[in-house]
Structure 1
Amino acid sequence: MIDFWLAAGLLLLVAMAFLLIPLLRGRRAQTEEDRTALNVALYKERLAELAAEHAAGILDDAQLQAGRNEASRELLADTEGDGERRSRLGRVAPLIAVVLLPLLGLGLYLHWGASDKLALAREFAQPPHSMEEMTARLEKAVKAQPDSAEGWYFLGRTYMTQERFTDAAAAFERAATLSGRQAEVLGQWAQALYFANGKKMAGQPQTVADEALKQDPHEVTTLGLLGIAAFEDKRYADAAGYWQRLVEVLPGDDPSREAIQSGIERARQRLAERGESLPEAPAAPASNGLQLKVEVSLSDAVKGQVKPDDSVFVFARAVNGPPMPLAVKRLKVADLPRAVTLSDADAMMPQLKLSAFPNVELVARVSRAGNAISGEWIGRSQPLSTTAGAGDQAVTIDSPDSH
C-alpha cells in the first residue's frame, strides 16, 4: 500500500499547489500595492516643493506647470499595470482550503474508495502458505465482491477440500443464483448437498442434480455423483449406467477414465454376485443409412494460432432440437485438412440419431482442453436437410469460439 499512498500524496501536493500559488501571488500583489502608495506620497511631496519654489519666485508659471507634468508622468510610469497586479484574494480562505483539502480527500476515499479490494488484490498476488490462508482470502474476496459468482464458486470448491460440506453447499447455492443456474455450478451444489445430507440423494440433492442434467445431460460432476449415490444404494445397474455415460463424454486422455471404468467393473461384479447382469441396450431401429460427408480445414489466420496436438471435434446437431451433438468424431489439428463422414453409427445417444432430425448443422471446433462443448476456434455450416440429401459439405474453422 506504500506506493499507493505515495502516488495519492503526490496528487494531493499538485492540488494544494493550485491553492498556494494564488496565495503567494497575492502577497506579491500586496508588495506592489505598498510600493504604489510610496510613489503617490513622493508625488505629493514633489508637488509641494514645486509650489514652494513658485511662491519664492524661483519658478514662473510655465516652469511650475512643466514640473507638475513631469511629476505626473513619473507617477504614471511607476503605477502602470497596478490594477492588474492587485489581488482581492484574502489570505485566510486559501489557507483553510489547504488544510481541509487532504482531510476531505481522505474522508471521500474511505467512504467510496476501494482500499479493501486493492489490499485483497495484493494479497492474492502472493501464494498462500496453507489451505486455511487460501480460505480466508476467498472469504474476504466474496465479502468485498458479494456479487461475484466466480468468487463464491471457488470458495465452495475450497470448502469441499476441507470437508466443510454445509458451507460449500451455501457457497455453491449463491454461485448458482449469480451465474444463472449454470449446469456445472448446479452439479457442484448437488454434490455438496449430498455429502452434507449424510450421503443421501433424497430431497434437495436429487432435485438440484435433476435440474443440472436437464440443462446439460453430459454434466460430468452430476453423472459421477449419481453413479456414486446409486452404488452406495446398491443400485449397481444404475451406477454403471451413469458412469458409462460419463466415460462417453470424457476426453480420451482424461486421467479419471481409468477410475470410472474400474467403478463400472465393480458394479458388474456386484451384479454378478447377485446372479444379475447389466441389461442389454434396446436395439436401435434401422436407420435410413444417412451419411454426411464433410471436409474440415483451417483458415490461414487460424493455422498460426493452434498447435498440432489440439483436439478437433466434428459433429452434427439438430437445428430445432436438443443442443447436444447427434454424431461426433474427434481428430487432431495435425490431421487437417481431412474428410469426415458422420452417420447414425456415430450417435452419442441411441435415441438421438441423425436420421431422426430433418435439419442439422455441421460444426468443427478446436479445443485445446479437449472439451467438445467449448474451445478456442470454430467453424459452422449452413443448416442442412437430412431428408433431401445433403451431399458433400465443407466446414472451415475460421472464427473465435464464443461457446
Structure 2
Amino acid sequence: MIDFWLAAGLLLLVALSFLLIPVLRSRRAQLEEDRTALNVALYQERVAELQTQQEEGVLDAAQMDAGRAEAARELLADTEGVAAPRVSRLGKPAPLLAAILVPVLGLGLYLHFGASDKVELTREFAQAPQSMEEMTRRLERAVAAQPDSAEALYFLGRTYMTQDRPADAAKVFEKTVNLAGRQPELLGQWAQAQYFADGKQWSEKTQALTDEALKADPKEVTSLGLLGIAAFEGQRYQEAIDYWNRLLEQLPPEDQSRIALQGGIARATEKLLASGGKVAPAPVAKAGALLKVQVDLAADLKAKVQPGDSVFIFARATSGPPAPLAAKRLTVADLPATVELGDADAMMPQLKLSNFPEVQLVARISRAGKPTAGEWIGRSQPLASSTTAPQTLTIDSPDK
C-alpha cells in the first residue's frame, strides 16, 4: 500500500499546486507594488529636495529642470518591467481554504467509497499464507470486504471445518446457501457442519438438509458420508455399510479417502457380526449394455479399398439422437475384426447404449478419416441394446 499512498500524495501535490500558484503570484505582485511605491516616494523626496535648493538660490531654473528630469528617468528605470497589478475576485482566503479542503475531502471520500481494503487483500492473496491461521484471517477480511461473495463464504466455511469450528462453519454455510441457492453440495456441507456443531447429535434440521441434498443429487458425497457416520454412531451398522458403499462407488480409484472409507465399512461389518447380525449383500449393479460385433468387407470391395483407409464401427439409437452411442476405429488392414461396443465406449456420458432400448450397428469406410462421411458402409437391422449374442456386420454398399 505504500506505493499507492505515495502516488496519491503526488497527485494531491499536483492538485494543490493549481490552487496555491495564484496565491504565490499575488504575493509576488504585492512585492512588486511595494517596490514601485518606494521608488515613487524616493522620486517625490528628490523633487522636494531640488525645490528647496532652488528656493535657497543654490539652483537656477535650468538646473532645477535638469534635476527633475534626471529623477524622472531614474524612476522610469526602476519601474521598468513591472507588470500591471492584477485584480483577484476570489482574494487570498479562498485558494487557501480550498487547498485545505481538497485533501481532507478527497481522503474522506476515498475512505468511504474507495476499495483500499480490497487492494490490500489482493496483495495478500498473491502470496502464499504462512499458516492456517493467517489464511483464516485473510478469508475473514475477504468476507467482510465482499459480504455477497458466495465463493469467499464457502472457502471460509471449509477452513472453519478444518480448524474444528463447526458452529462457525454452519453459520457461514447457511449464508452461502442463501446467496448461491440450495445446491446439493452446499446443503451437504451445511448438514455436516450442523451435525458436528450439535455435538454429533442427529437433528431434524440435519435430516432435512441431507434429504434435500440427496433428492436433488443421489450421489452427493458429503451427505452419503455424513449419513454413514450418523448411522455408525447410532449403532445402525447395516445402514452405515450401505451409505458408505454408495459413497465408495462415487470415488475415483486413486482417491486416498477410499482407504479410510473401506476401513469404516470393515469396522461396521465387525460390529454388526459381533452383535449377532448378518451383513446384507450389496445390491448388484446393473450391467451396462455390451454388443459384440464381427465386421468384415464384402468380397467385391476388397480390390477397391486401401489398407490404410479408416473403418468406423458404431452403434446409434434407432429412435433418438443421431450421434453415435459407442464407437471404435480400425483400418481396412484390420478386417475382418471382432469389436465390443459398450457403455464404456460412450461418446458422451448421457448417451450410453443402456439408456436406449433399440440400436442399429453401422460400419463405415472413410479414406478422409471422417466418421460422418465415407465411401462404403454396412448397416444392421435394429436390435435390442441388451443383446448378448454376437452380431455380424458386412460393409457392402456405397455410402450415400
- TM-score w.r.t. length of structure 1: 0.57
CA distance in 2, matches of 1:2, 1:193: 43
Q: Measure how far apart 1:145 and its partner are.
A: 2.2
Kept in 1: contact 2:187–2:212 (CA 8 A) = yes
- The within-5 A match list for 1:274-289 is 274-281=277-284, 289=291
CA distance in 2, matches of 1:390, 1:236: 50
For 1:239, what is the secondary structure of its paired residue?
helix
Matched, 1:8 2:8: yes
Kept in 1: contact 2:241–2:269 (CA 8 A) = yes
For 1:253, what is the secondary structure of its paired residue?
coil
Note closer, same or farther for the CA distance 1:106–1:230 as it changes in structure 2 (3 Å cut): same
CA distance in 2, matches of 1:228, 1:93: 75
CA distance in 2, matches of 1:134, 1:254: 25
For 1:355, the equivalent position in structure 2 comes to 354
CA distance in 2, matches of 1:390, 1:15: 78
CA distance in 2, matches of 1:288, 1:196: 48
For 2:225, the equivalent position in structure 1 comes to 224
Note closer, same or farther for the CA distance 1:353–1:115 as it changes in structure 2 (3 Å cut): closer
CA distance in 2, matches of 1:126, 1:192: 27
Note closer, same or farther for the CA distance 1:101–1:391 as it changes in structure 2 (3 Å cut): farther
For 1:152, the equivalent position in structure 2 comes to 153
Q: Deviations over 1:184-219 (max 9, x none)?
A: 222211111122233344412122223323343333
For 2:108, the equivalent position in structure 1 comes to 107
Kept in 2: contact 1:30–1:86 (CA 8 A) = no
Give, as a single letter, the amino acid of the residue that structure 2 aligns with 1:281.
V
Gaps of 5+ in 1: 43-56, 59-70, 292-315, 321-325, 328-339, 359-385, 396-403
Gaps of 5+ in 2: 43-60, 63-71, 294-315, 327-338, 372-400
For 2:189, the equivalent position in structure 1 comes to 188
CA distance in 1, matches of 2:104, 2:226: 57
- TM-score w.r.t. length of structure 2: 0.58
For 1:163, what is the secondary structure of its paired residue?
coil
Which one is further off, 198-207 or 188-197? Answer: 198-207
Kept in 1: contact 2:225–2:247 (CA 8 A) = yes
- Count of residues paired in the alignment: 305
Note closer, same or farther for the CA distance 1:256–1:114 as it changes in structure 2 (3 Å cut): same
Q: Measure how far apart 1:353 and its partner are.
A: 5.7
CA distance in 1, matches of 2:36, 2:359: 104
Kept in 2: contact 1:290–1:355 (CA 8 A) = no
The partner residue of 1:127 within 129, 137, 145 is: 129
CA distance in 2, matches of 1:394, 1:175: 48
For 1:143, what is the secondary structure of its paired residue?
helix
Q: Measure how far apart 1:287 and its partner are.
A: 5.0
For 1:380, the equivalent position in structure 2 comes to none
Give, as a single letter, the amino acid of the residue that structure 2 aligns with 1:154.
F
For 1:197, the equivalent position in structure 2 comes to 198
For 2:189, what is the secondary structure of its paired residue?
helix
CA distance in 1, matches of 2:41, 2:340: 109
Larger Rg, first or second structure (1 or 2): 2
CA distance in 2, matches of 1:98, 1:275: 87
Kept in 2: contact 1:289–1:343 (CA 8 A) = yes
- The within-5 A match list for 1:1-400 is 1-30=1-30, 86-88=86-88, 90-120=91-121, 125=127, 127-129=129-131, 131=133, 134-272=135-273, 273-281=276-284, 289=291, 343-344=342-343, 354-357=353-356, 387=359
Kept in 2: contact 1:33–1:82 (CA 8 A) = no
Note closer, same or farther for the CA distance 1:391–1:33 as it changes in structure 2 (3 Å cut): farther
Q: Measure how far apart 1:251 and its partner are.
A: 2.4
CA distance in 1, matches of 2:152, 2:370: 42
Q: Measure how far apart 1:281 and its partner are.
A: 2.3
Q: Measure how far apart 1:166 and its partner are.
A: 1.9
For 1:186, what is the secondary structure of its paired residue?
helix
CA distance in 2, matches of 1:346, 1:236: 37
Which one is further off, 133-142 or 96-105? Answer: 133-142
CA distance in 2, matches of 1:107, 1:3: 19
Give, as a single letter, the amino acid of the residue that structure 1 aligns with 2:281.
L
Q: Measure how far apart 1:168 and its partner are.
A: 1.4
Note closer, same or farther for the CA distance 1:143–1:390 as it changes in structure 2 (3 Å cut): farther
CA distance in 1, matches of 2:160, 2:174: 13
Give, as a single letter, the amino acid of the residue that structure 1 aligns with 2:10.
L
Kept in 1: contact 2:184–2:220 (CA 8 A) = yes
For 1:218, what is the secondary structure of its paired residue?
coil
Note closer, same or farther for the CA distance 1:242–1:40 as it changes in structure 2 (3 Å cut): same
Give, as a single letter, the amino acid of the residue that structure 2 aligns with 1:230.
A
CA distance in 2, matches of 1:200, 1:390: 58
Q: Measure how far apart 1:130 and its partner are.
A: 6.0
CA distance in 1, matches of 2:340, 2:175: 44
Note closer, same or farther for the CA distance 1:39–1:113 as it changes in structure 2 (3 Å cut): same
* Identity score, percent: 59
For 1:51, the equivalent position in structure 2 comes to none
Kept in 1: contact 2:219–2:247 (CA 8 A) = yes
Note closer, same or farther for the CA distance 1:243–1:391 as it changes in structure 2 (3 Å cut): farther
Q: Measure how far apart 1:7 and its partner are.
A: 2.8
Give, as a single letter, the amino acid of the residue that structure 2 aligns with 1:5.
W
Kept in 1: contact 2:289–2:342 (CA 8 A) = no
Note closer, same or farther for the CA distance 1:280–1:355 as it changes in structure 2 (3 Å cut): closer
Note closer, same or farther for the CA distance 1:108–1:267 as it changes in structure 2 (3 Å cut): same
Kept in 2: contact 1:188–1:221 (CA 8 A) = yes
Q: Measure how far apart 1:170 and its partner are.
A: 0.8
Q: Measure how far apart 1:29 and its partner are.
A: 4.7
